[in-house]
Structure 1
Amino acid sequence: MGNEFDKILKIIQQDLPLVSRPFLTLAESVGITESELLKTIEKLVDDGVVREIAPIYDSKMLGYDSALVAFKVPQDKLQMVADFVSSCPTVSHNYERTHPFNLWFTLAVPPDTLSLEDVVRLMAERTGTLDYLVLRAVRTFKIGVRLDYESAHEKESVGFTHKPYKPLKEHEKEVVRVVQGRMPLTERPFFEYAQMLGMKEEELLNLLKDLKERGVLRRISAVLYHRRAGFVANAMSVWNVSEDRVEDVGNFMAGFKGVSHCYERTTGESWRYNLFAMMHGRSEEELYNLAKHISQEKGLDDYALLFSTKEFKKRRIKYFSEDFKRWLKALT
């Protein structure tokens, strides 16, 4: 791929500016026309490199409860169980991984419904799953995939700011309900959203800026198909770190470009690992080497790499939709 292509792939993974013509602003930053940029993005989508350009919201700041869940599933039942799990509208990621707990998925549950634990219990009962984990995030050190590096060992400066939760007003929920999913690849996408909402474009942009300032809207950016972008290896590294060292180690891990997400999570009787770092690289060897480097630098010996072997689902949640309630009603 040419240098211009690499620049485009890099900028669309960053934050789309909240201005009337965001693609014009991005195009000018790499010295091409707005039309050329939009055509390139369309080609990347058609070629299966880019999934979409879409808003990324913080589910907890929207009032949703969320957790990482793992099921231990017999291999001959894995596809059946994975299909059922994927049928849940608020499961966004669902993967087979290299571990006895072999099915891993992220679940978000909207407010004013069953608890997350009750939903997981119902899912386990429905699939005959006896052994499962519900791992909640305790602290976040990094979140956000940007596949724009040559080596997973490259470093970057990361700062994660925790914002206080503030319930959304009804008109804000309606904005989220409309401004989600695949963004229109047009000169004025926010104008199109504003028309759907019966608002002025400037009013919508100001509201989105406020949601971003409050931590509700993380960013608007491209989501890639990792393998087609050259990042064929994906591992969830899990680490057993003493509580007094979690902050230091978490911040250290978050500083690597090859780490997209880094969380401290809850543990349990059958799960001792409390620090999670999602790693992306061009080979499994690269990720083994990165984990080894972290292990040696921080003196950590109790860790594992869970490589993803099959993607069952990766899709943005449709927030403030009735889909989950209908799914849950059918389940119960």
Structure 2
Amino acid sequence: MDPLDKQLLNDIQWTFPLSERPYLKIAAKHGLSEEDVMRRISLMKQSGLIRQINAIFDTRKLGYKSALVAFAVKKDKLDAVALEVNKHPGVSHNYERDHEFNMWFTLAVPPEGDLKKDLEQMASLDGVIKFRLLPTLKLYKIGVKLDMVNTDPSKLTPDDNVKSLDQKKFELTSRDKDFIRELQKDLEVSVRPFDNSAKNLGITLDELFKKAEEYESLGVMRRFAAILRHRDAGFTANGMIVWMVPDDKIDEAGYKLASFPQVSHCYRRPVYPDWPFSLFSMIHARTVEAANKIAVELSNFVGINEYRILFSSREFKKERVKYFVD
């Protein structure tokens, strides 16, 4: 992977062009040929570095119910429990982390689903000692962008413009579901990659792009972008920093953390007697040393000293939730 590949990855993680010939548009920006851009992106997809290129939707805007779940599992039962949990189609991320609560996964169910019932079935699996349900109480930021160019973890600057999240309710129709099914598909690497989606929907490309832009303006679609495999990209130290924050300081701390590009996710979640951490932030670094350095810098900036980093030691599952599919 050369510097041009890295710059391409930086760009398409955040904004992939919604146009008839998106690879030509990318090529023009970087002074490359369309063929060269397609070749580079094809190779990075084939190697597994680029997981997929597609629309990223807001689960809750689509009416899905979702939560982060922490399981404490007996060590000798961990693999078996993970295997069963992963069978649920709404489990998109599942990691082993270095804590008493050693299995962390996200669970989503469609509008007609019963999250509590599904979770209770999982919690009854042999080896599960206890669990904590940690739904989002407030979202400060979501959006992974792995910086493939800057490798210096000391260059922490709060320069992200945190997108204002539209809280208006989205009234989903059956036609919207058709659009979502198409836009969530992995985009092919071809000269006119959106043609098939438009054809399947019986519309023009302009109509497809207009609908995608509408979804983005409503917050239904967060963005259309490339998703990378963290570890393949060199980001092997993926840390969930959990912060013990007084209630009257949590919004201030949440928005400050969200302003850093090194922070991909930031949420407020409930606390329990055995879990006093109310603020969650995700960082992705190339080494544990770099992640610890980032955490110290963040701690100094927000003025919160009570925190822990829970590193992912194993990835049991990571994939996008497929919405409105049988």
Give the TM-score taking structure 1 as reference length: 0.92
Q: Map residues 1-332 of structure 1 onto 2, 5 A cutoff.
A: 1-114=1-114, 116-148=115-147, 149-152=150-153, 153-155=155-157, 156-163=159-166, 164-322=168-326
Deviations 1:139-176 (A, max 9, x none): 22221111113234432222231211212111011111
Quote the Cα distance in structure 2 between the aligned partners of 1:233 and 1:21: 36
Deviation at 1:48, TM superposition (A): 2.3
Letter in 2 for 1:88: H
Structure 1's 270 and 56: CA in aligned 2 closer, same or farther, altered over 3 A?
A: same
Letter in 1 for 2:274: S
Structure 1's 120 and 112: CA in aligned 2 closer, same or farther, altered over 3 A?
A: same
Quote the Cα distance in structure 2 between the aligned partners of 1:35 and 1:134: 48
SS of the residue aligned with 1:273?
coil
Structure 1: stretches of 5+ with no match in the other structure: 323-332
Quote the Cα distance in structure 2 between the aligned partners of 1:296 and 1:180: 39
SS of the residue aligned with 2:299?
helix
SS of the residue aligned with 1:107?
strand
- 2:23 touches 2:34 (CA, 8 Å); kept in 1? yes
- 1:190 touches 1:205 (CA, 8 Å); kept in 2? no
Give me the CA root mean square deviation.
1.5
SS of the residue aligned with 2:232?
helix
Quote the Cα distance in structure 1 between the aligned partners of 2:182 and 2:281: 32
- 1:151 touches 1:258 (CA, 8 Å); kept in 2? no
SS of the residue aligned with 2:294?
helix
Q: How many residues align?
A: 321
Moved more, 261-270 or 94-103: 261-270
Quote the Cα distance in structure 1 between the aligned partners of 2:267 and 2:100: 21
Quote the Cα distance in structure 2 between the aligned partners of 1:32 and 1:49: 21
Structure 1's 161 and 297: CA in aligned 2 closer, same or farther, altered over 3 A?
A: closer
Moved more, 181-190 or 290-299: 290-299
SS of the residue aligned with 1:12?
helix
- 1:239 touches 1:303 (CA, 8 Å); kept in 2? yes
Moved more, 97-106 or 169-178: 169-178
SS of the residue aligned with 1:293?
helix
Deviations 1:239-280 (A, max 9, x none): 010111112211221222221111111222321111001011
SS of the residue aligned with 1:227?
coil
SS of the residue aligned with 2:15?
coil
Quote the Cα distance in structure 1 between the aligned partners of 2:303 and 2:144: 27
SS of the residue aligned with 1:195?
helix
SS of the residue aligned with 1:45?
helix
SS of the residue aligned with 1:120?
helix
Deviation at 1:128, TM superposition (A): 5.0
Give the TM-score taking structure 2 as reference length: 0.94
- 2:69 touches 2:106 (CA, 8 Å); kept in 1? yes
- 1:151 touches 1:281 (CA, 8 Å); kept in 2? no
Deviation at 1:285, TM superposition (A): 0.8
Over the matched positions of the two proteins, sequence identity in percent amounts to 39
Structure 2: stretches of 5+ with no match in the other structure: none
